[in-house]
Chains A and B, each alone.
Chain A
Amino acid sequence: MSLFREFIKGVGSRQPLLMLGLGLCQALAVTVSLEGALWMSLAMTCLLVAVNGIVSLTRRLMTPGTALLLAVIVSTTLATALELLLQGYRPAAVPLLGVYLPLAAVSSLVVVRAGEYAAERGAAASLADGLGMGLGFTVALVAIAALREIVGANRLLGYPVIPGFEPVAVIVSAPGAFIVLGLVMWAARAILTRRGEE
């Protein structure tokens, strides 16, 4: 499989959030606003690329089955480092992410990609996979967050969107997250499955 296909599968048939159901916790928690979703997507992409890269590079040196241990050490370190960097340079973004940034270290998306993919493949393919999965996660998170922010608050990145539109407050609440995620997941699966059949 070419590197490009490794990369692009994360946006298509192997879309991590909408097709594989990975990273649901973050998708439900930080999609109240588009800004939070963008920061989380950036963090997850960094984590995926770094963890995949390191696990893949050390896979021949490590005893079989210990890749996950290394993946968790690397991902917890990077997640904490990202949180500290945000506290230092973008303190306003920290409350948007809450505990979900440190929790991203043990997100199913990071752990599964490192343990099931990067631990058995070369560095280039693993990096492409991490980048593609990160991009796929970003696309899904941005779609969900934009929908929730527009419908639930009639705003996008804090700016008003539709004059006179009465926001549907339930969409920015926890049940609203499940509803929007379900709808987006259904739509994405319908589109991607049909495309796969064709």
Chain B
Amino acid sequence: MRNAVATIMILMLAIGASYGLLTLLRDRNRAESARTAAAVEAELIRRALPGFQATQKKDGAGRPYLVGLRREGERAIRAHAVSVTASGVTALVGIDEQGRVIGAAVTLPPAPPLAAVSLWGALGLRDEERPIREDAAAWYEAQIKALDLARPADTAAAAERLTAPGTAVTLGDAARSWCLGVPYARQSLTDALRETYGGLVKHLAAQPPAEVRP
């Protein structure tokens, strides 16, 4: 009888210790994996777009669906533009007086395009052209329409500027060697920026910034 009680106690102790040890290790692995992935993504963004700070929101599968970028130490936007790529990526990009990209809000499918507007507001940018508000859907739609029409001719020129050595060219290989969710995010982001920037350049060339306002 004594042996039976001891056996049950030992087995319960073994099961308890097993559960504790494995839970500890699993939690540790998950935390480490998340920390590594975050560090890797921050590093990839830093390499791809030097001087930018990034914020992201991810879905349940760990894929980013909202990506916000802001140039470190700068907030003032002179003009902004919006673009929707063929793959459904939406981007808002703002530039300063010199035409440099200061901030970008990118939504990746299946996030709705308007989510970029919310993110734009959260980036803390001072948009001198026109504050973008969440209720600016009509304006937003008009912008999408205008830029979609203007986009194709300028994408290549804009992409050329954005893929100068040291920026986005090596992203694919670097990202592939790290983790699965990252290449998707980086490539989408790069595509969106290229197209948006292309659209923005075209738009500003066609008319003075003051006239961009709806």
Contact = CB atoms under 8 A, between A and B. Distances in A.
Contact of B29 (A61, A77, A88): A88
Interface residues of B, number: 17
A16 to B, nearest CB: 24
Contact of A84 (B6, B11, B25): B25
A88 B7 contact: no
B3 A70 contact: no
Nearest to A62: B7
A69 B11 contact: yes
Interface in A44-87: 54, 58, 61-63, 66, 69-70, 73-74, 76-77, 80-81, 84-85, 87
A74 B4 contact: no
A116 B52 CA distance: 64
Contacts of B3: 61-63
A-side interface size class: 10 to 19
A93 to B, nearest CB: 14
B25 A62 contact: no
B22 A73 contact: no
A164 B17 CA distance: 54
Interface string B147-175: 00000000000000000000000000000
A85 B10 contact: no
B32 interface: yes
Given A63-B3, A85-B25, A88-B29, A77 B18 contact: yes
A76 B21 CA distance: 12
Given A62-B7, A63-B4, A88-B32, A74 B25 contact: no
Given A61-B6, A81-B25, A84-B26, A73 B32 contact: no
A73 B7 contact: no
Given A70-B11, A77-B14, A84-B22, 15 more contacts: A61-B3, A62-B10, A66-B7, A66-B11, A73-B14, A74-B14, A77-B17, A77-B18, A80-B22, A81-B22, A84-B25, A84-B29, A88-B28, A88-B29, A88-B32
Interface of B: 3-4, 6-7, 10-11, 14-15, 17-18, 21-22, 25-26, 28-29, 32
The 5 A-B residue pairs with the shortest CB-CB distance in the complex, in nearest-first order: A77-B18, A84-B25, A61-B6, A63-B7, A73-B14
Interface of A: 54, 58, 61-63, 66, 69-70, 73-74, 76-77, 80-81, 84-85, 87-88
